[in-house]
């Protein structure tokens, strides 16, 4: 699609795109290129010399069991966060879509956590579930749970998933509500006339019609779990105990900064880039379908 | 309209209130904790009702900071966050709207390659190129500066795509009309296109402001000076690894202050927020 009515000018358009082009080239393409180059280099321990090592950094990564664990962990986190947050948000959205008194108020009261930053989410949840002083830990111990996410890796993982899913509820709720409101009400009426009970109406009418929204949100949630959980993890567990909450992004950060292993960190960055490109590609394919749906 | 029976309606109300309670509970606890005495909290004996230290805690948080040696008033951190968020939001909108204008309203060599160069940036968040970007910012002597905090985060295509999409829907007759009136490309942009884009810009601004205010990994890496910390970075540094020293009321007051501006924006400008969210899919 192109505009028919346009202006003629030789230099003006270049001047207009110049600022964005400059920023994108300096702060996007140049670093991305550097990451790719760096991933083929090996630096000695003192940073004095570098040698070109082809795919050694990548091969080392895939031989490293801790990297493999981080991949599995990241996908597990993503899946757990997406499924728990999506199902809870869908329940709330279906309820809020009913013609209830005060539905605007409900919406307002449910969407604001979108604005809470990941590190703040981390701080809020670690405070509530802190082993020695958390207000909820008292009750957990009262129930006989030996609660200590700072020492127990599984509990730490559960805490991260819980906090990350909590933050994402509002986003998913908003998109589900928009998706539900876009379904013509006559469809429900037809199903009701056919004698379908509400639960059956949901599974046979609402859910299938909502599937584009669900797919879209699934991708968005996975990307969110990949990247935005960094702030949550860094304030709550800092990857620990041990490495039980180290995700791929956290590993890029900690290997590069704390370990000083830039070649490996760069190779990890490149692998992440490929993963994001694949995910975004899936999303775009889907968005195109949404238009013609 | 499908009739809902009374009973089902009650169930819906109850489920929604449970949802609201779950969503609000962590924040309620934070607000409560920020009004209490640290000794009580550290003992695990925090009350679930407000304490009497509200003014004291918030005064210390905003103007003094924690008692540690690297103390920094949270008021200053909020100022840093504000400047960064505004620079990101305004900067992104400004450079995107003019480049979208060029791409839609002009034909020039390399137009499509340039569009694609910008478009591809949509795919990769700053997290995946973090150290090389850090190195460039360091080489440009932009560590510990507002430019270093904001410029790398401006490099993304979302806003450009959005404005491009919007400009495509603007009727051609408007351009013909202003051309008959003798307006050149800049005049048309300023007098016709900008006023038409006002709502889009506002919706985008709301989203970008929230995203900017909530940035974490990037500011964490490139700020070394305490007086350049943003509030998100500052709150993390308040949680010491030796738990006994963490001043929880101040941490919680900082959490509340960190939430306040973006939550206010969401609630006060809900329409724009929802619109911006749906359009940018952020």
Which residue from A minimizes the CA distance to B154? A23
Tell me the count of A-B CB pairs closer than 8 A. 294
Q: Which residue, among A15, A18, A28, A191, would best test binding to B if mutated, counting the most B CBs under 10 Å from its CB?
A: A28
Number of domains chain B is built from? 1
Answer whether B172 sits within 8 Å of A114, measured CB to CB.
Answer: no
In chain B, which stretches have pLDDT less than 50? 1
Note whether A68 and A62 are within 8 A (CB): yes
Distance CA A253, CA A68 (A): 16
Cβ separation B281–A220 shorter than 8 A: yes
Rounded to the nearest 10 degrees, what angle do helices A262-292 and A248-257 cross at? Answer: 150
Within a domain: residue B94? Answer: yes
pLDDT for B3:
53
CATH number, domain A66-292: 1.10.3720.10
Q: Give the ranges where A97-152 is alpha helix by DSSP (H).
A: 103-111, 118-128, 135-142
B231-238 vs A118-128: helix crossing angle, rounded to 10? 30
For residue B226, what are the domain limits?
75-280
**B61 domain residue, yes or no:** no
In a domain, B226, yes or no: yes
- The CA distance from B266 to B86, in Å, is 16
B217 contacts on A by Cβ (under 8 Å): 230-231, 249, 253
Q: Are A156 and A241 in contact (CB under 8 A)?
A: yes
pLDDT value of position A170: 92
Q: Could you report the per-residue pLDDT of B153-200, keeping only the tens digit for each?
A: 887 788 898 899 889 888 888 888 888 888 888 899 998 899 999 988
pLDDT at B86: 95
Omega of the bond leading into A241 within 30 degrees of 0 (cis)? yes
Q: Answer whether residue B82 is part of any domain.
A: yes
Query: Which burial class, exposed, middle or buried, applies to B171 when counting CB atoms under 10 A from its CB (0-12, 13-18, 19+)?
Result: exposed
Distances, alpha carbon A239 to alpha carbons A72, A229, A244, in Å: 15, 11, 6
CB contact under 8 A, A227 and B125: yes
Maximal C-alpha separation, chain B: 77
* Interface touch B277/A174, C-beta < 8 Å: yes
Selected for mutation to probe chain A from B27, B40, B50, B106 (highest A CB count within 10 Å) is B106
Burial environment of residue B226 by CB neighbours within 10 A (0 to 12, 13 to 18, 19 or more)? middle
Position B36 in a domain: no
Helix axes A248-257, A207-227, angle to 10 degrees: 10
CATH assignment of the domain containing B115:
1.10.3720.10
Q: Measuring CA to CA, which residue among A275, A164, A277, A155 is closest to residue A230?
A: A164
pLDDT of residue A79: 92
Which DSSP helix (H) or strand (E) runs through B147? helix B146-154
What residue of B is the nearest CA neighbor of A132? Answer: B44
Written as tens digits, the pLDDT of chain A (293 aa) is: 577 777 888 889 999 999 999 999 998 888 888 888 888 887 766 666 777 778 888 888 888 888 889 999 999 999 999 999 999 999 999 988 888 888 888 888 998 888 999 999 999 998 888 888 888 888 888 887 888 888 888 889 999 999 999 999 999 999 999 888 888 888 878 888 887 787 888 888 888 888 888 888 888 888 888 888 899 999 888 887 888 888 888 888 888 776 667 788 888 888 888 888 888 777 777 655 443 33
Tokens of A222: 């996975």
Is B11 a member of any domain?
no
């Amino acid at each position: 699609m192109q505009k028919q009515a346009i202006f003629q000018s030789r230099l003006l358009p270049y001047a207009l795109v110049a600022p964005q082009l400059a920023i994108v080239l300096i702060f996007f393409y140049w670093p991305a290129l550097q990451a790719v180059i760096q991933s083929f280099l090996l630096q000695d321990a003192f940073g004095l010399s570098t040698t070109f090592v082809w795919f050694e950094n990548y091969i080392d990564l895939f031989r490293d069991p801790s990297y493999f664990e981080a991949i599995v962990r990241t996908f597990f986190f993503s899946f757990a966060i997406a499924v728990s947050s999506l199902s809870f948000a869908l329940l709330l959205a279906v309820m809020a879509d009913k013609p209830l008194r005060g539905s605007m108020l409900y919406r307002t009261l449910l969407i604001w956590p979108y604005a809470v930053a990941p590190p703040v989410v981390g701080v809020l949840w670690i405070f509530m579930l802190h082993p020695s002083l958390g207000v909820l830990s008292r009750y957990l111990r009262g129930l006989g749970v030996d609660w200590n996410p700072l020492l127990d890796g599984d509990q730490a993982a559960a805490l991260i998933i819980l906090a990350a899913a909590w933050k994402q509820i509002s986003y998913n709720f908003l998109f589900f509500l928009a998706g539900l409101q876009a379904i013509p009400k006559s469809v429900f009426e037809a199903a009701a006339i056919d004698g379908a009970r509400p639960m059956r109406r949901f599974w046979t009418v609402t859910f299938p019609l909502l599937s584009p929204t669900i797919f879209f949100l699934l991708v968005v949630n996975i990307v969110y779990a990949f990247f935005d959980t960094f702030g949550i993890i860094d304030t709550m567990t800092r990857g620990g105990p041990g490495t039980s909450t180290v995700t791929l992004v956290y590993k890029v950060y900690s290997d590069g900064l704390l370990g000083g292993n830039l070649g490996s960190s760069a190779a990890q960055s490149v692998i992440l880039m490929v993963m994001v490109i694949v995910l975004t590609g899936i999303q775009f394919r889907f968005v195109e379908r949404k238009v013609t749906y | 309209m499908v009739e809902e029976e009374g009973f089902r309606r009650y169930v819906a109300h109850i489920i929604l209130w449970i949802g609201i309670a779950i969503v609000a509970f962590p924040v309620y606890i934070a607000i409560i904790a920020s009004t209490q005495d640290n000794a009580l909290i550290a003992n695990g004996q925090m009350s679930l009702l407000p304490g009497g230290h509200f003014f004291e805690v918030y005064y210390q948080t905003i103007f003094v900071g924690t008692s540690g040696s690297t103390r920094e008033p949270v008021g200053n951190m909020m100022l840093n966050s504000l400047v960064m968020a505004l620079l990101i939001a305004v900067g992104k909108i400004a450079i995107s709207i003019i480049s979208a204008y060029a791409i839609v309203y002009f034909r020039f060599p390399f137009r499509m390659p340039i569009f694609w160069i910008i478009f591809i940036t949509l795919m990769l968040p700053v997290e995946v190129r973090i150290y090389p970007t850090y190195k460039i910012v360091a080489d440009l002597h932009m560590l510990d500066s507002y430019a270093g905090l904001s410029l790398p985060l401006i490099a993304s295509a979302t806003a450009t795509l959005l404005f491009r999409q919007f400009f495509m829907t603007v009727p051609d007759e408007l351009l013909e009309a202003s051309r008959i009136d003798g307006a050149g490309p800049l005049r048309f942009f300023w007098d016709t296109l900008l006023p038409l884009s006002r709502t889009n810009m506002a919706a985008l601004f709301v989203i970008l402001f929230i995203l900017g205010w909530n940035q974490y990994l990037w500011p964490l890496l490139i700020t070394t000076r305490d007086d350049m910390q943003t509030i998100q970075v500052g709150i993390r540094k308040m949680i010491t690894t030796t738990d006994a020293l963490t001043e929880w009321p101040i941490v919680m007051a900082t959490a509340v202050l960190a939430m306040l501006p973006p939550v206010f924006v969401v609630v006060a400008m809900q329409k724009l927020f929802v619109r911006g969210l749906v359009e940018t899919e952020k």
